Structure 1
């Protein structure tokens, strides 16, 4: 899956609707779409592509990479 290899934190603030891969310990744990971001709190909410569940993620615990695909698929 093509993606921008720079973490989203290096590209500025994430925007709602942006597709992302969520990495923890260099492993993709989730694929989804940014629902809401709160940079002042260090959290982002995504809608998981596989389950549709809304997930709150701490930017201290994960690395977010933007996807350039039309539709992320759950791995």
Structure 2
């Protein structure tokens, strides 16, 4: 897995997982490190999970709110 280093200063706020919609571009962060970046494909808010299509690998990733914080990608 390729890690994308991201500065914490000026980062967009964390996303409310219940407000995510398919097609949105997000980054999955753990601390100051962005682990994945991709497009939301499916959300299951009551389970606290989302599926994204990782933009660097093209693979589908299941993300849990227990493991990462999601932030919308900067334009």
Answer whether TM exceeds 0.5 for this pair: yes
Ranges in structure 1 where 5+ consecutive residues have no aligned partner: 70-75
**Which structure 1 residue ranges, 4+ long, deviate > 4 Å from structure 2?**
none
Q: Of the two structures, which has the highest relative contact order with CA contacts closer than 8 Å and spacing of 6 or more?
A: 1
Query: For the structure 1 residues 58 and 52, does the alpha-carbon distance in structure 2 shift closer, same or farther, using more than 3 Å as the test?
Result: same
- Please point out which of 12, 16, 21 is paired with 1:15: 21
* 2:65 corresponding residue in structure 1: 59
Corresponding pairs, count: 67
**8 A contact 1:34–1:46 mirrored in 2:** yes
**What's the Cα RMSD here?**
2.1
Unaligned runs of at least 5 residues, structure 2: 1-9
Alignment of 1:1-75 (within 5 A): 5-9=12-16, 12-69=18-75
Displacement of 1:25 in angstroms is 2.2
**Contact preservation (8 Å) 1:47, 1:54:** yes
- CA–CA separation in structure 1 for the residues paired with 2:14 and 2:63: 14
**Given the two structures, how large is their TM-score scaled by the length of structure 2?**
0.78
